[in-house]
Amino acid sequence: MLEIKNLHATVGGNEILKGINLTINKGEVHAIMGPNGSGKSTLSYLIAGKDGYEVTKGEILYNGVDLTEMKPEVRAAEGVFLAFQYPIEIPGVPNTTFLKEALNSVRRHRGEEELDAMQFVKLIKAKAEELGIAKDMLKRAVNVGFSGGEKKRNEILQMAVLDPKLAVLDETDSGLDIDALKVVSEGVNQLRSKDRAILVITHYQRLLDHIVPDFVHVLAHGKIQRSGGKELALELEEKGYAEYGVAAE
């Protein structure tokens, strides 16, 4: 589903990624772990298509098609979802209005009929219930005045509504206490399926206790230094990133 080949990328003229290779098949959950500044978020923004992130060499193929040629909204409609590390506030725009606009944009792109207000309300209520999200969160302006946990749950809700094929979760555990972490992880686990690929990006191993990955990769100095199974995460937890030339924080 996702094939990253020898990816080099710059941000503001600085080379951050220096030759990444990664293949993710559908149904698989991969975790990328790495210290701060290793290029984890850069990789997620490159997949989503944020301005200012330049591919200088290599490619990102999504179902065999070059992803970097597509606008961010086209990637999203094609099934690429990024759960943001810092979800953005949109004052004055109710969460439901935003989600309806997003879902119908994606449906239009897929050649499906748009949902009307009634159909949408039914869908969103069902999804919110499955994920244990309070109704008032749907009416409030997007992420405005949300606690850290609510923001992350809102990301998972959006993921559930948009039903992506490839979901990238960027530091979804950051800023969460242990209870919130459990709730968010449960939400993600509900969305695991044999048709969906998930890429979890994290600094700490603790998230991977809840979202258990099939594969773990260590990213440092702009390259994947090592890949393995879920046990690699535990090893990192114990030894830190020192053996990859990164000083302890």
> What is the binding site for other proteins (CB under 8 A)?
48-51, 71-73, 75-77, 81-82, 84, 87-93, 97-98, 101-103, 105-106, 109, 141, 158, 162
Considering the complex, state which of residue 21 and residue 97 has its C-beta at the smaller distance from other proteins.
97
Q: Answer for the pair 15, 222: CB distance below 8 angstroms, yes or no.
A: yes
Considering the complex, state which of residue 140 and residue 226 has its C-beta at the smaller distance from other proteins.
140
Q: Which residues pair with 168 in a beta bridge?
A: 82, 199
Taking each helix axis as running N to C, give the angle between helix 117-130 and helix 95-109, from 0 to 180 degrees, rounded to the nearest 10.
110
Query: Smallest gap, in angstroms, from Cβ of residue 54 to other proteins?
Result: 15
Query: Smallest gap, in angstroms, from Cβ of residue 44 to other proteins?
Result: 10
| Three-state SS sequence of 193-239 | CCCCEEEEEECCCHHHHHCCCCEEEEEECCEEEEEECCHHHHHHHHH
Considering the complex, state which of residue 83 and residue 208 has its C-beta at the smaller distance from other proteins.
83
Considering the complex, state which of residue 103 and residue 200 has its C-beta at the smaller distance from other proteins.
103
Considering the complex, state which of residue 92 and residue 145 has its C-beta at the smaller distance from other proteins.
92
Query: Smallest gap, in angstroms, from Cβ of residue 82 to other proteins?
Result: 5
Considering the complex, state which of residue 22 and residue 77 has its C-beta at the smaller distance from other proteins.
77
Q: Answer for the pair 203, 33: CB distance below 8 angstroms, yes or no.
A: yes
Look-up of token digits 């994290």? 202
The Cα 102–Cα 92 span in angstroms is: 16
Terminal Cα-to-Cα distance of the chain (whole angstroms):
35
Query: Smallest gap, in angstroms, from Cβ of residue 111 to other proteins?
Result: 14
Query: Smallest gap, in angstroms, from Cβ of residue 76 to other proteins?
Result: 4
Query: Smallest gap, in angstroms, from Cβ of residue 94 to other proteins?
Result: 9
Coil vs helix vs strand at 125: helix
Look-up of token digits 């969305």? 191
